[in-house]
Structure 1
Amino acid sequence: MSRNGGNSQDSNRVSTGLPGLDDVLDGLRIGDNVVWRVNDLDDYRRFVTPFIESAASAGRRIIYLRFGQHPPLVPANTNIHTENVDALDGFEAFTGRVWRLIEEHGRGAFYVCDCLSDLLNAWATDAMVGNFFRVVCPFLFELDTVAWFALYPDRHSRTTLDRIRQTTQVMVDVHRLEDDVQVQPIKAWCRQSPTMFLPHRERDGRFLPVSDSSDATRLQAGLEVAQLHRQPLLDYWDRLFMQVTSAMQDDDQEQAAAIHERVLNVLISRDSRILDLARNYLNLEDLLAIRARMIGSGYIGGKAAGMLIARSILLTNQPAIWQESLEPHDSRYLGSDAYYAFLVHNGLWPAIMRQRAPEGYFSEAATLRQGLLEGEFPPEIRSELERLLDHYGQYPILVRSSSLQEDGFGNAFAGKYDSVFVINQGAPEHRLDALEYAIRQVYASTMSDDALVYRKQRGLDQREEPMALLIQRVNGRFHGRYYLPDAAGVGVSRNTFAWDTDMDPAAGMVRLVMGLGTRAVDRIEGDHACVMALDYPHRQPFRNQDESYKFSQHLLDVLDLREGDLTTLPLSQLTKEVPDLPLGHLGEIDQPASRRARELNLPTPVWRLTFQPLVRNGLFVDRLSCLLKTLEAGYNHPVDVEFTMHLNSAGEPAFNLVQCRPLATIGETTAVAIPEEIPAQNLLFRTQGHFMGGNINLGIQRVIRVDAAVYRQLSVSQRYDVANLVGEQVRMDKGKTMLIGPGRWGTSSPELGVPVRFADIAGVAVLVEVAEMDGDMVPDLSYGSHFFQDLVEAGIAYAALFPNGRNSVYQPDRLRGTSTHRQGVSPEAAIQSFDLRANPLQLTGDVISQDLACYYPV
């Protein structure tokens, strides 16, 4: 560009404030970023002062970016605007703030910045200092600025120093050997002279090149002797963990406590409650073990931290049980800094800044998502991923999101970010491509509509949310072309969906499946997980054995090694293809169905996954109850865990703890009183059991109901139109809203319910699912699923109504109030909306009696 060329016009030239230095560098150019590498900040300060004075006399606008812990470089001066920026808020917050300041000050501003090396004290990661410079330097260049920076070269790795050198326009080393101070230009873009890059001594305002090679050699020898007393060029992150090792060896309790706290704050979390747990359950040796399994630097994220803390709670508080019953893990972690490095490496920071602005929060997300899917990994990350694959061999891998805010107290992000299976078969280069694509998919999921809405609703849209990754070997066995665990489940230590008055919510419950745990955490379309209260594991929420079989698991999620994908297979097909499945420990033979199958020459026996043999074994319920109680006590809060199980020949389980997080619970209110007699004309519905949310006492001001009689006549595309219209209705603020519909809300199969996204209905107070349409649409009691997590985190009460069942009354014709309802058969006609603000409904639920009633008060 002409502004930086050797023949540029005088208007593009800028003085350093020292004519002699201008002679050496052939002056500065508009757009130059100047990096001073010094060992003493005073050596930077002495060059800053004349530069500021020269710029001020030329009428330039000067901004001092103040972020270091060192004394100010610039005295208070009316000609200089100081911007204080706090680096302790994290890389994204700091870099975003500097970016916006540069935008605000616009073209032509001049900048003096504090020492970049001070950012290490805030971030503890050298790579991010380089990434910060790679973000702001091109932006400053683009806006015709001149900006000065300093750094201490012996505090940074060669990789960081090289990246800063590659990015900047001008770099100058300042060498001090006692009183002998010399400057040596290292880079001066588009400038050249025979002696420009030699060391220069200052003499009477002039900077004279050290033209005698003997003098230059003596100078270099003296500098090398001084360098021997400094630490080698290691990444600050590596030096931090060297201090951990030193503290362990020296047995200095005070030093150990200080470095322990330091590492927890840059590796584990910023959440005070998670940090309290980590202080108690992750010691220095644990932190070193995490570092040894980590790619990059930064946080390991909430999901990884939760898993590690939970394992330590079990092994610390119940070692006699869990040393034997808890399987070892060999998880790996891709640090949160790798996410930012990926953004910077692919030039996506401007897109991030546009998306972080209020007006671009949603509109810029799709473009950014595509950029994340198409990006490439920095070489140093890619080489580490190759080594990771060497470690796992050809075992399948699960790449799991583990963002900074994820799985914390109050913010589970359940199902908001992707987890991706990598089948990990084929040539090494193909396996690496598949792993990289899986990581990009998880990164891109940060820009999904559900994730964006979730963050915005919780006031997290402007908080730093870097995506770390938890990478795990998939627990399971090879069965020919298929790979799957024996069983998997979701356990919760507090059962607020007890369907029987005898059940104790404190006993907890579990949602069990055979095969991969995907079917335990998601609402299963056309299939059912086994829901089991741990104090009454034999008592199922069904009326008879036929219903129990009907609403059991018929489909399994497995990894197909031949096709290279996650697939769903009927149990009958998998039983036929795989003879060594542990069915005897997980299911029971359906004798009548087996007799019918023999008569029809179909494969026998016919298995039903009831999980009762596992219950009868005794160890499973005892172990899981112990696990949940121990973790709840350790967390001092109800917990939600995901696990897989490995069964031995006797059916005894070993647990692999995949995830642990604080359970999102709807607040338990004081006991409520339901009227003994509610006139039939005032009752909308009443049910014994099949609701959740603890004690409920709500005034309902609006009801939106999907009419099953109309809905059944609609096409698939029209049913999706209904879902969109419901979302539009919900977003119209008319007070506390109850949503009533046939079958399952949030299903991806319109024949099973209304396929709304949770983001579309997040504003409702109550969600009601009704068994309608001749039994085709049945509520899914998916306690423990991601959809359930969304409900309880958002404080949404839930009820399932079975109008033809015992202890259930549903009278939709009793709805009254201002109504909007079209006639005919159309998506619009399927939706009834009732404005009840003049005469609200009352929803009252008692968790003790498991009685729920919705009625007009007399």
Structure 2
Amino acid sequence: MTGQHLCQPDDRVSTGLPELDRVLDGLRIGDNVVWRTADLSDYRRFVVPFLNSAQASGRQVLYLRFGQHAPIVKQHPAVHTIPIDAQGGFDSFTSRVWQLIETHGRGAFYVCDSLSDLLNAWATDTMVGNFFRVICPLLFQLDTVAWFALDPDRHSRTTLDRIRQTTQVMIDIYRNGNDVQVQPIKAWERQSPTMFLPHREDNGRLQPVTDSSEATRLQASLETRRGPSQPLLDYWDRLFENVQQAMMGRDKPLMAQLREQVLQVMISREPRMQALARRYLSLEDLLAVRARLVGSGSIGGKATGMLIARSILLNDAPELWQANLEPHDSSYLATDAYYAFLVHNGLWPALMRQRTDEGYLSEAPALRQSILEGRFPPEIRSELNRLLDHYGQYPVLVRSSSMLEDGYGNAFAGKYDSVFLTNQGDSETRLTALEDAIRQVYASSMSHDALVYRQQRGLDQKEEPMALLIQRVNGRFHGRYYLPAAAGVGVSRNTFAWDRRMDPNAGMVRLVMGLGTRAVDRIENDHACVMALDQPTRQPFRNQDESYRFSQHLVDLLDLETQQLATCPLSQLQAAAPDIPWAQLGEIDRAASARAEELGLGGPVWRLTFRPLVRQSAFIPRLAALLQVLEAGYQHPVDVEFTLHLDEHGEPAFNLVQCRPLATIGKTGRASLPERVKTRDTLFHTRGHFMGGNINLAIERVVRVDASIYATLDHNQRYQLARRLGECLRETDATTMLIGPGRWGTSSPELGVPVCFADIADVDVLVEVSENAGDMVPDLSYGSHFFQDLVEAQIAYVALFPEAAHCQYYPNHLPDEIIEPQHRSVIEQAIRIHQLADHPLRLTGDIDRQELICYHPEGPEA
């Protein structure tokens, strides 16, 4: 037991039974008392005298009622009963108990239901032990006395040992008919020659069994009545043993019952995901997950989405996907491992401080650092070693898979870390790297961006344990480099169709060569290939030069020599890895190749256009079929991450990395566009390049970053402007349109304004404007994490290209600001705020016509 507690005579507390006080030398302030018994009526017999004694001494007694069994205390004048729901999981239950104990403060007494009943809610023995390890020290510190019961036959030896190590007093009760035996197992800082002997209860007296022969016979009779001793397995392990036995016996009613139980504790509690899992995950599927699971508990949202998506494809379209879907090869670190890590490192008090309103953001950095410095429990380390043995030296990807991730409405896209590991070196080196990666993902749950995201969606007090999805990186070794041929993000609903001939229902893909990081992250100075699946060769470029300019020039891959995720220029990769299937991914730029030959540079110059893949393989029809099948299964548009493996003929097999419901700005009826608006009443008018479906909004405020002033700011001033802009946007609830040069949310200030998404999360419309100064060009990063943030927050998006024939933009048509710019600093001058509450602008968009106009509705239409 950690901590010190000096026992003085006035620290003594009576159990209410003089005989038990005599055996134990009384209780002490700070004692946690655990009664181990299979019969709760025996626990109840000892509780009542304790309550009477507490009442006589004027103590406040709280009864924590969480069990499914009959109440331990029905009515007692000294007792205040507090019902607590354990069905919500370990986190919410433990947090609630912690808060109650802190609220009632020092000196309160507690009586609790049987800890064994928590197994019915959590289905894991490990977390019962962790609950006690968290709560017992807090009770001790606050000078309380608390009583608990548990049935030792329902718990593993590991859990029983942890509870015994943590508590101050532990007592066993054995019963054989009317023969009752009481045996203290532990009494911290107390000892007598007979204290830990079995004591026979006889007419209220507790007599130690001092004759060893009598004790042996008594023990033998108890064991005979109880039957042969069974190995004490964790409740979790027993659950899956029962599943296997039910399947072997073909007991269909029991199989259905157990399947429901496993789905609840391992897959999801979210109703819509549960319904999908019931349709598509069999008991065989669940046992296969269990075989690859480290720890117990839920596998989290990301892993659940990936598994359900695979099952939808293989069940609903087996003729296509049995042959063209790569075999599944993922492992899982379950949520209970995350909690075990926190408890093992004594971080629960810090987590509780962070959960308060005042500590939500301020306590997070210290907790994050403590997580990064934490150590793993020995039983987890041994399982991680086994996991690495399975993958050998293939690279792996450690991905967050929290409870709330990738569900309906909350993707958490990019909020938590994913870590690539080259997985090179001896076993200890690889294990150390894996542990570091896991700590990094755990710690990312305390990042500012993730916490603000949760807060904005009302999720800051919801249980959010971090599970992990560990995947073999799909790809091939090419000398020192390892990478897949291609990777991408596919969406089944294209709300960013840039051509009116495109069908939004056909879907869209954002495709890159190499690792998929460049497909999901906003790329600086580089571009993914964006294709509408119904017209994949139609690109949003005016000419070939522009097509090459806005293509991919850098490839993300794993460098086995530096053992890092690296970015390699296309030309350098071509020289280092000629065995990559270049002819399937790109085309030779003959003019550039001729210039290179003149300069003495060897080899052709490739451009990653992906046209051969589109024209000569089944890539587009297979991806379209994949998205259609998944949308039908989910009954909702989907967002899918995948990698491609090309065979010797250039035909693709898909490796499904992730699937989630696509966050879509809700459909509205067809918007009524004005037939004609005078130029003087128009802010902008564009065809294509907007997102959000049909739009009809009254704009009460326009916040605009002046590109001409922004271009004069230095690097630091641009970041200062981004922070100041966030403050301005939080000043009002007015419907706001934000307009700025280049890319919002970029990490390169020369390409746009480097705001965090949290700064702009409350705007209604986000506009990116192509500016002639520098490279401030909108990035149509459909499928990126920034895009996910926009659609989840229901923010309409517009990209304006004033130099193009399809776009007109007149910022000078906005009304003047109230404060003249010359009275402000240069940073303040760059931020123009136009108040329009009295005469709002109207933003109207028709997704079918691919037309969007922002105008002053009072202007006469002719």
Residue 741 (str. 1) matches residue 740 (str. 2): yes
Residue 841 of structure 1 aligns with an amino acid whose one-letter code is L
Cross-structure match for 2:439: 440
1:510 aligned partner: 509
Question: Which residue of structure 2 aligns with residue 417 of structure 1?
Answer: 416
What CA distance in whole angstroms lies between the structure 2 residues aligned with 1:575 and 1:460?
47
> Counterparts of 1:663-742 in structure 2 under 5 Å?
663-742=662-741
| Number of equivalences | 857
Aligned: 1:641 with 2:603 = no
Deviation at 1:279, TM superposition (A): 0.3
Q: Could you report, residue by residue, the CA deviation over 1:737-783 in whole angstroms, capped at 9, with x for unpaired residues?
A: 11111110000111111111101100000000011033511100001
Q: CA deviation at 1:372?
A: 1.2
Amino acid in structure 2 at the alignment position of 1:643: F
- Secondary structure (helix, strand or coil) at the match of 1:447 reads coil
Report the AA paired with residue 295 of structure 1.
V
Question: Which residue in 2 is equivalent to 1:117?
Answer: 116
Residue 625 of structure 1 pairs with residue 600 of structure 2: no
Residue pair 2:617, 2:650 contacting (<8 A) in 1 also: no
Instruction: Please tell me whether residue 574 in structure 1 is matched to residue 607 in structure 2.
Output: no
Q: Name the amino acid aligned to 1:465.
A: E
Match of 1:556 in 2: 555
Show the counterpart of 2:216: 217
Name the aligned partner's letter for residue 291 of structure 1. Answer: R
Structure 1 residue identity aligned to 2:804: G
Helix, strand or coil at the partner of 1:828: helix
Look up the match of 1:841.
841
| Cα distance in structure 2, aligned partners of 1:126 and 1:227 | 22
Distance 1:120 1:536, change over 3 A: same
CA drift at 1:254: 1.7
CA contact (8 A) 1:30 1:145 kept: yes
The SS at the match of 2:499 is coil
1:204 Cα offset (Å): 3.6
Per-residue displacement from partner, 1:454-484 (whole Å, max 9, x unpaired)?
1111111111111100000111111111111
- Distance in 2 (alpha carbons) for counterparts of 1:2 and 1:646: 54
SS at match of 2:77: coil
What residue identity is the alignment partner of 1:789?
A: Q
Shift of 1:76: 1.6
For residues 253 and 300 of structure 2, what CA distance do their matches in structure 1 show?
A: 27
Distance 1:820 1:652 in 2: 62
CA distance in 1, matches of 2:7, 2:802: 84
1:820–1:244: structure 2 CA closer, same or farther, 3 Å change rule?
A: farther
What is the 5 A alignment of 1:254-653? 254-653=253-652
- Sort the Cα spacing of 1:488 and 1:821 in 2 relative to 1 into closer, same or farther, 3 A: farther
Higher mean alpha-carbon deviation, 268-277 vs 217-226, is at 217-226
**Residue-by-residue CA offset, 1:592-638 (whole Å, 9 max, x unaligned):** 11111111122331100000000012300111011000000001110
Encode CA deviations 1:27-68: one digit per residue, 9 max, x unaligned.
Answer: 110000000110111111111111111111111111111111
- What amino acid is the match of 2:506? A
Structure-2 separation of matches of 1:346 and 1:564? 29
Deviation of 1:219 after TM superposition, in Å, equals 2.1
Q: Mean Cα displacement is larger for which, 135-144 or 209-218?
A: 209-218
Relative to 1, partners in 2 of residues 1:565 and 1:4: Cα closer, same or farther, differing over 3 Å?
closer
Q: 1:396: Cα distance to partner?
A: 0.8
| Structure 1 residues 580 and 819, CA gap change in structure 2 (3 angstroms) | farther
Q: Secondary structure at the match of 1:727?
A: helix
Describe the SS at the equivalent of 1:415: coil
**1:3 and 1:9 in contact (8 A); partners too:** no
Aligned to 2:625, the other structure's residue is in SS state: helix
Q: Which amino acid aligns with 2:32?
A: N
SS at match of 2:821: coil
Q: TM-score, normalised by structure 1?
A: 0.98
CA distance in 2, matches of 1:17, 1:346: 37
Q: Residues of 2 paired with 1:226 and 1:349: CA distance? A: 42
Q: Per the alignment, in what secondary structure is the counterpart of residue 584 of structure 1?
A: helix
Amino acid at match of 1:560: D
2: CA distance between counterparts of 1:781 and 1:430?
Answer: 41
**Secondary structure at the residue paired with 1:409?**
coil
Are the counterparts in 2 of residues 709 and 773 from structure 1 also a CA contact under 8 Å? no
Aligned match of 2:78: 79
Amino acid at match of 2:852: L
Is 2:242 aligned against 1:238?
Answer: no
Runs of at least 5 residues in structure 1 that lack an aligned partner in the other structure: none
AA aligned opposite 1:142:
Q
Task: Determine if contact 1:4/1:30 at 8 Å carries over to the other structure.
Answer: no
More displaced 10-residue stretch of structure 1: 419-428 or 647-656: 419-428
Tell me, in whole angstroms, the C-alpha distance in 1 between the residues paired with 2:372 and 2:820.
Answer: 44
Counterpart in the other structure of 1:853: 853
CA contact (8 A) 1:816 1:834 kept: yes
* Aligned AA (2:119): L
Instruction: Work out whether residues 199 and 210 of structure 1, in 8 Å CA contact, stay in contact via their aligned partners in 2.
Output: yes
Please give the secondary structure, in 2, of the residue aligned with 1:86. coil
Query: How many angstroms does 1:676 deviate by?
Result: 1.7
- For residues 285-305 of structure 1, give each alpha carbon's deviation from its aligned partner in whole angstroms, at most 9, with x where no partner exists: 111111110001110000000
Paired residues for 1:14-53 under 5 Å: 14-53=13-52
Q: Secondary structure at the match of 2:76?
A: coil
After superposition, the CA RMSD in angstroms is 1.4
Retained in 1: the 8 A contact 2:59–2:78? Answer: no
What is aligned with 1:105? 104
- Tell me by how many angstroms 1:90 deviates: 1.2
SS of residue matched to 1:632: helix
> Aligned equivalents of 1:851 and 1:345: distance in 2?
58
**Shift of residue 793, structure 1, vs aligned partner:** 0.5
Change (3 A) 1:236 1:615: same
Give me the whole-angstrom Cα distance separating, in 2, the residues matched to 1:524 and 1:604.
Answer: 27
Q: Deviations over 1:100-157 (max 9, x none)?
A: 1111111001111000000011111111101110111000000000000000001011
Q: Output the amino acid matched with 1:368.
A: L
- Superposed CA deviations along residues 77-111 of structure 1, whole A, max 9, x for unmatched, are 23211111010111111111111111111100111
Q: Secondary structure at the match of 1:360?
A: coil
Q: Tell me if the contact between 2:718 and 2:753 (Cα under 8 Å) persists in the aligned partners.
A: yes
**How much has 1:175 moved relative to structure 2?**
1.2
Shift of 1:364: 1.1
Q: Hey, what's the Cα distance between the residues in 2 that align with 1:658 and 1:448?
A: 24
Matched residue SS, 1:475: coil
Q: CA deviation at 1:221?
A: 2.1
Q: Deviations over 1:667-725 (max 9, x none)?
A: 11111122121111111111110001000001111111111111111111111111111
Q: Is the 8 A contact 1:820 1:832 kept in 2?
A: no
* Alignment partner, residue 791 of structure 1: 790
Q: Which amino acid aligns with 1:845?
A: G
SS in 2 for 1:489: strand
- Name the aligned partner's letter for residue 79 of structure 1: A
Cα pair distance change 1:318/1:585, threshold 3 Å: same
Q: Specify the code of the residue in structure 2 equivalent to 1:161.
A: L
* Deviation readout 1:337-362 (Å, 9 max, x if unpaired): 11111111111111111111112111
Corresponding residue for residue 832 of structure 2:
832
TM-score, normalised by the number of residues in structure 2: 0.98
The within-5 A match list for 1:747-786 is: 747-774=746-773, 776-786=775-785
Aligned to 2:195: 196
Q: Secondary structure at the match of 2:302?
A: helix
Identity, % of aligned positions: 70
SS of structure 1 residue aligned to 2:440: helix
C-alpha separation between the residues in 2 aligned to 1:410 and 1:3? 45
Provide the rounded CA distance (Å) in 1 between the counterparts of 2:366 and 2:116. Answer: 34
Work out the CA distance in 2 between the residues paired with 1:737 and 1:9: 66
Given residue 703 of structure 1, which amino acid in structure 2 is its aligned partner?
V
Amino acid at match of 1:329: H
**C-alpha deviations, 1:238-280, integer Å up to 9, x for none?**
1111121122122222211111111101110011100010001
**1:94 and 2:93 are equivalent in the alignment:** yes
Give 1:217 shift.
1.4
Cα offsets for 1:206-250 (capped at 9, x unmatched): 312111111111122223334435653110001111121122122
How many Å separate the matches in 2 of 1:776 and 1:451?
30
